[in-house]
Chain A
Amino acid sequence: MPTAIEVININKTFGKHHVLHGVTLTVEEGTTRVILGGSGSGKTVIMKHMIGLLKPDSGEVRVFGQNIVPLKQDALVEMRKSFGMVFQQAALFDSMSVFDNVAFPLVEGAQKVSKEDIKRRVEEKLSILGLGQAMQKFPSELSGGMRKRVGLARALVTEPKIVLYDEPTTGLDPITTDNVDQMILEAKQKFGVTSVVISHDIASALRVADRVAFLHEGTIVEDTSPAELRKSQHPFVKKFLSTWFDK
């Protein structure tokens, strides 16, 4: 299977804090790759490298074979047309309504889309995510879960080849969590979307993942299938998973 994203031996330091230690990771096209790990383990930092929001101190990040580390701003903008991203705190534009937030990448992005088509696509995505009644509301009027779903609708509205999900189910109720999982699975099955999901929600992660990497203190300690991960002998992974098995 062709590779969509390759992270090759990257290191990243913020001040004195060494966050990533030689991380290597491959995401194959049309698959869902989950990166599990505790808070502060560096998961979001890996994701930001994948889309060029951060540059590694050393190592390479390849997207569809192209090393994006040396790319200038214009080339990065071009590369990002293949991506959608769901942010941990949704990152909605608080001066815009829900409708305008979701329409933003279609209105301001590089794609030329007619007004009718924008309206249709935005309404369709919002309805699927149960936000049909909230289109004219502003982000400050929404609950945390609703904000997250708006962020998800915004990431999917351009129908990108790769979608990055930063903690997509954190703070959601079980039914909405299931809906989000279904959306990730449907995006893969219907449109062949490649997904990278960052999570510490084990149940959700194991449901959607084709392959799971487990990040601990800036290092990948497991890189395996969901079924194999359950048999991991790594002490931290065992402890992490036991909290879920105990439930």
Chain B
Amino acid sequence: MAAAVSPALQKLTRPLEVIGSGVIDGLDDLGAVLMFFFRVMTRMFRPPFRMHVLFTQLEFVGVGSLFIVLLTGVFTGAVFTLQSVDAFARFSAQSLVGATVTLALARELAPVLTALMVAGRVGSAMATELGTMRVTEQIDAMEVMAVDPLGYLVAPRVFAGAFMVPLLTMLFIMVGVAGSYLVAVIFSGIDEGAYMARIERWLDPSDLFQGLSKALVFGTVVALIGCYKGFHAAGGARGVGQATTGAVVIGSIAIFVLNYFLTALWL
């Protein structure tokens, strides 16, 4: 027979119980997402390959996000340069601005901000679309018609995220550097030769690979979480809303947490 627990002890253990159950629930969810990812991966590399569905998703994730990513990129490069020019002027090192901004863009800012933009625009849309399909039995209907919804709906979306976010990141870096050049060379009068020479000297291809490898992981994770949340939505319009919010919030947190570990791996 279990020993009776005094109320005082219960008060003490209650916070531990809450934390413990939160940790267990979190691990449970993580396990479920990983299982989902594994199931999606198996669908990605086996027929039928539905190219028309894949191209629709590539267009949605890539072309659809182009404007917002370019806009974010150019202003991020520009504002980071404004701050850097001001800071570096204090010890007369303005010629380092180009290299600093480009390095920061390639390694950190471009992959993280691109992924955040995609999480807001694409992750939420995926969760909403699949969530609506789930609560209106469209996914059930697909299963009944012997069409695997993971292969038809999820695999092309996750592939599109993994493929397009690195491409968008590259564009982010390009327009970010352009914005930086504009502010540094045209508006702030930093010597163009020194600006470009420092970039050439300090930037290494591995910096770009670091950023693109992060983008690959972020793109996969954002699409995966969006699809997972939508695919498991329940409870009508409210459930779809919760799935959408969850996709953006968890997707964004995942980007920041994973960014730390990926950076630690690279350095």
Where the two chains meet, the residues of A that have a C-beta atom closer than 8 Å to any C-beta of B are 48, 51, 53, 73, 76-78, 80-81, 83-85, 87-89, 91-94, 104-105, 108-110, 154, 158
Sampled A-B contacts (22; CB under 8 Å): A48-B140, A73-B148, A76-B143, A77-B143, A77-B146, A80-B143, A80-B144, A80-B145, A81-B146, A83-B144, A84-B144, A85-B141, A85-B144, A87-B137, A89-B137, A91-B138, A91-B140, A92-B141, A93-B141, A105-B147, A108-B48, A109-B147
User: Are B50 and A108 in contact, CB atoms less than 8 angstroms apart?
Assistant: yes
Contact of B146 among A53, A87, A89, A105 (CB under 8 A): A105
- Take A108-B50, A108-B152 as given contacts and tell me if A91 and B147 are in contact as well, using a CB distance cutoff of 8 Å: no
User: Are A108 and B136 in contact, CB atoms less than 8 angstroms apart?
Assistant: no
Docked CA distance A105–B141 (Å): 10
B155 to chain A, nearest CB (A): 13
A135 to chain B, nearest CB (A): 19
User: Are B136 and A109 in contact, CB atoms less than 8 angstroms apart?
Assistant: no
Contacts of A89 in B (CB 8 A): 136-137
User: Are B152 and A87 in contact, CB atoms less than 8 angstroms apart?
Assistant: no
Contact of A87 among B50, B140, B147 (CB under 8 A): B140
Contacts of B146 in A (CB 8 A): 77-78, 80-81, 105, 109-110
Docked CA distance A158–B50 (Å): 20
- Closest A residue by C-beta to B43: A73
Give the 10 A-B CB pairs with smallest separation, nearest first. Answer: A91-B137, A91-B141, A105-B145, A85-B144, A80-B146, A108-B147, A81-B146, A77-B146, A87-B137, A91-B138
Docked CA distance A83–B50 (Å): 23
Docked CA distance A92–B133 (Å): 9
Interface centre among A53, A83, A89 (most CB of B within 10 A): A53
Contacts of B140 in A (CB 8 A): 48, 53, 87, 91
- Closest A residue by C-beta to B141: A91
A198 to chain B, nearest CB (A): 14
User: Are B50 and A53 in contact, CB atoms less than 8 angstroms apart?
Assistant: no
Docked CA distance A73–B148 (Å): 8
Docked CA distance A158–B137 (Å): 19
Docked CA distance A76–B141 (Å): 14
Contacts of A158 in B (CB 8 A): 145
- Take A108-B50, A108-B152 as given contacts and tell me if A93 and B144 are in contact as well, using a CB distance cutoff of 8 Å: no
User: Are A51 and B144 in contact, CB atoms less than 8 angstroms apart?
Assistant: yes
Contacts of B148 in A (CB 8 A): 73, 77
User: Are A91 and B136 in contact, CB atoms less than 8 angstroms apart?
Assistant: yes
- Closest B residue by C-beta to A108: B147
- Closest A residue by C-beta to B39: A73
User: Are A92 and B144 in contact, CB atoms less than 8 angstroms apart?
Assistant: no
Contacts of A108 in B (CB 8 A): 48, 50, 145, 147, 152
Contacts of B136 in A (CB 8 A): 89, 91, 94
Docked CA distance A81–B152 (Å): 17
Docked CA distance A110–B50 (Å): 13
Since A53-B140, A77-B147, A94-B132 are in contact, a sample of 15 more A-B pairs with Cβ atoms closer than 8 Å, ordered by chain A residue number, is A53-B144, A77-B146, A77-B148, A78-B146, A80-B144, A85-B144, A89-B137, A92-B141, A93-B138, A105-B146, A108-B48, A108-B50, A108-B147, A108-B152, A154-B145
B117 to chain A, nearest CB (A): 24
B57 to chain A, nearest CB (A): 13
Docked CA distance A87–B50 (Å): 26
Docked CA distance A110–B48 (Å): 9
Docked CA distance A246–B141 (Å): 37
